[in-house]
Structure 1
Amino acid sequence: MASSSIFHHILFLKHPSLSDNSPVRSPLRFRSTIRATSSIALDPGLSTKNSPVSEVEFSCPICYEPLIRKGPSGFNLPAIYRSGFICNKCNKAYSSKDIYLDLTVTAGTKEYTESKPQGTELFRSPLVSFLYERGWRQNFNRSGFPGPDEEFKMAQEYFKPAEGGVLVDVSCGSGLFSRKFAKSGTYARVVALDFSENMLRQCYDFIRSDDTILPTNLALVRADVSRLPFSSGSVDAVHAGAALHCWPSPSNAVAEINRILRSGGVFVGTTFLRYTSSTPAIVRSLRGRVLQNYTYLTEEEIEDLCTSCGLINYSSKVRQAFIMFSVQKP
């Protein structure tokens, strides 16, 4: 397959909308639905806004025991990556690799290698990582994504209960939103987390070129979304931008996000919907056959997944194939 064909192929996989010239393209519509999915009302006292600020407690991805840190104090790129971390229970050491802290289960392995599903491996590619903010992400507007600036504003509204706390941007890619969260000054700590080594390198390159971000309380961490290296109940907010459909097991990932959130913590995600109530039947059938390398869900499935993992107060905003949803930890 020619390189141009490969690029078109992977681009289509990431953007499941039909072309602009398609006669059955869904019309532009934007709607917002807010509804509780549990009879349990979230107590306003659960808000984390006024909670005491604590250090991010990195944990062993094998046993979830808090890691012992040795090195300079502080939560910023230079301090974190001059530090070493060790699990007293597993006796396994973790350290920085290049410019990110590797907290995967396979960190430090010499002979063992492990391949992930095609959808995950694609984003470990140096080419895709380089292109992500240089043309790739801009095409999301074809599917109804309003653009990074507007998406950031929408997310910030949902994250109001978590102001002043710890935010983890899972599957952060090249750090497009991680940098926005860090620069906002809204959060005490921001962790940009991804499984792709090359995405994290791109993230570092963007950070290094912006003097306003480098000294902020921001860390780059390599980790698996289904094995998050944080203690239970230690995180105030989790963001996942255009990510859920790429996870090998969305249920495992959402369950992990629930585990690490504090009571009252907020999870906000965006993704591509498989189809909406207005999608023509012929388009639904087409997407079901063609888009098999990713887990594209309906809005009803996303709500059901979050609720089944114990999260409450589901709300969402939908535009074409774009959805932003928010849930909270009871």
Structure 2
Amino acid sequence: MAIASSSCSSSLRPLHHSLFPKYPSFSCNSQFRPPLQFSSLRFPFRIRASSATALEQDTSTLHQDAFEVDLFACPICYEPLIRKGPPGFNVPAIYRSGFKCKKCNKSFSSKNMYLDLTVTAGAKEYTEYKPVGTELFRSPLVSFLYERGWRQNFNRSGFPGPDEEFKMAQEYFKPAEGGVLVDVSCGSGLFSRKFAKSETYSRVIALDFSENMLRQCYDFIKIDNTILAANLALVRADVSRLPFSSGSVDAVHAGAALHCWPSPSNAIAEINRILRSGGIFVGTTFLRVSASTPAIMRPFRQRILQNYNYFTEVEIEDLCTSCGLVNYTSKVQQSFIMFSAQKP
């Protein structure tokens, strides 16, 4: 879908080895470069003749609303959405707003707690089902258990734990500080909430295809007023059809997600599309084969996990490169990998 690109002048910075005192087996296969520079006028608004009647507002909120319109885009034609509703970018303001595509005229509304920006939003009869690995996480039970025991089991495969993973990701994302971050396949919002509370980014979007995961995310958010009022939005969307304008996002995070995607290549190509030049993609997943996996067990491990897309380190790098990302780097412990790449 995309071809590998040559390196550019702005790229990522190295992770500090001091972040991993407990994980001496981590290895890094590339170096980062100086951080991106973000100007103070990051999100200029656009006024087009076709949107003249879309909103009634005073001039004091024009710039704010225009930014929000330009960020969310129609998942069908990728045109910016027109918003009607209360101003502001936070969970209550977003879910009380209505959105409409000014090109294809499709409307999108909230489900009381999240904004549905899937292609099938509003469909009355048609229902679309994903592969088993995706549908599992739409289950109310799995969504409820995700942060109540399910995620904790990841440490058996070498995951260092949410707090350490968050610190690692923040190091990769340093060049994108002050920008827009999208946490794709966010699940119950474990990392979305951490990104929002850090106040490192101007906007954080918690995005998942599972309605029940987003409901769990909202349940966690509503008991913490600091997050409820933060620049955070909950969005239902397909990672292979992301509802953002091309080049509108500075950072994309995908925690323990790559192996669940029906088409990882389509998803990473979409991530490449929405990232700004120099934008950063960081993901974690389980490796299909790691150095600590006994050779005799490798065929059985893959057979047991056949409902998911598990890759080797080399395959993940090749996937990112083939989708047009550059400056790939990774850190590995047992079956855990955190990898990062950059939009040229």
TMscore range, shorter length: 0.7 to 0.9
For residues 51 and 271 of structure 1, do their structure 2 counterparts lie closer, same or farther at Cα, with a shift above 3 Å needed? farther
Equivalent pair of 1:99/1:220 in contact (CA under 8 Å): yes
Aligned equivalent of 1:35 = 30
What does residue 113 of structure 1 align with? 127
SS class of match (1:137): helix
Task: Structure 2 unaligned segments of length 5 or more: list them.
Answer: 1-22, 44-66
1:271 is matched by which residue type in structure 2?
A: T
CA, structure 1 residues 142+51, in 2 after alignment: closer, same or farther (shift >3 Å)? farther
Q: Secondary structure of 2:28's match?
A: strand
Structural mapping, 1:232-247, within 5 Å: 232-247=246-261
Q: 1:52 and 2:47 equivalent?
A: no
In 2, Cα distance between equivalents of 1:174 and 1:276: 28
Q: Check the 8 A contact 1:313/1:327 in 2, yes or no.
A: yes
Of residues 156, 177, 184, the one that matches 1:163 is 177
Calculate the TM-score normalised by the size of structure 2. Answer: 0.84
Secondary structure of the residue aligned to 2:159 is coil
Matched, 1:143 2:157: yes
Q: CA deviation at 1:30?
A: 2.2
CA deviation after TM superposition for structure 1 residue 29, in Å: 6.3
Deviation at 1:72, TM superposition (A): 1.6
Do structure 1's residue 329 and structure 2's residue 343 form an aligned pair? yes
Question: Over residues 161-202 of structure 1, what are the superposed CA-to-partner deviations in whole Å (9 max), with x where a residue is unaligned?
Answer: 100000000000000000000000100000000000000000
| 2-structure distance, mates of 1:318, 1:306 | 17
Verify the 8 A CA contact 1:48 1:163 in the aligned structure 2.
Answer: no
Kept in 2, the 8 Å contact 1:86–1:92? The answer is yes
Number of residue pairs aligned between Structure 1 and Structure 2: 297
Question: Shift of residue 276 of structure 1?
Answer: 1.9
Residue number in structure 2 paired with 1:223:
237
Q: CA deviation at 1:50?
A: 4.0
Are the equivalent residues in 1 in contact too, given 2:255–2:283 (CA < 8 A)? yes
1:35 deviates by 1.7
Aligned counterparts, 1:190-269, within 5 A: 190-269=204-283
In the alignment, residue 33 of structure 1 is paired with which amino acid?
A: C
* CA positional deviation for 1:204: 0.3
Asked if 2 retains the 8 angstrom alpha-carbon contact of 1:182 and 1:213, the reply is yes
How many angstroms apart in 2 are the aligned matches of 1:89 and 1:265? Answer: 27
Task: State the shift of 1:88 in Å.
Answer: 1.6
Query: 1: CA distance between counterparts of 2:27 and 2:226?
Result: 34
**Identity rate, percent:** 80
Query: Runs of 5+ in structure 1 lacking a partner?
Result: 1-27
- What's the Cα RMSD here? 1.5
Q: Which SS does the other structure have where 2:282 is aligned?
A: strand
Among candidates 46, 67, 77, match of residue 63 of structure 1? 77
Partner of 1:90: 104
Matches of 1:137 and 1:314 in 2, distance apart? 26
**How far off its partner does 1:82 sit?**
1.4
Cα-to-partner distance string for 1:215-236 (whole Å, 9 max, x where unaligned): 1000000000000000000000
Q: Which residue of 2 aligns with 1:16?
A: none
Tell whether 2:325 aligns with 1:311.
yes
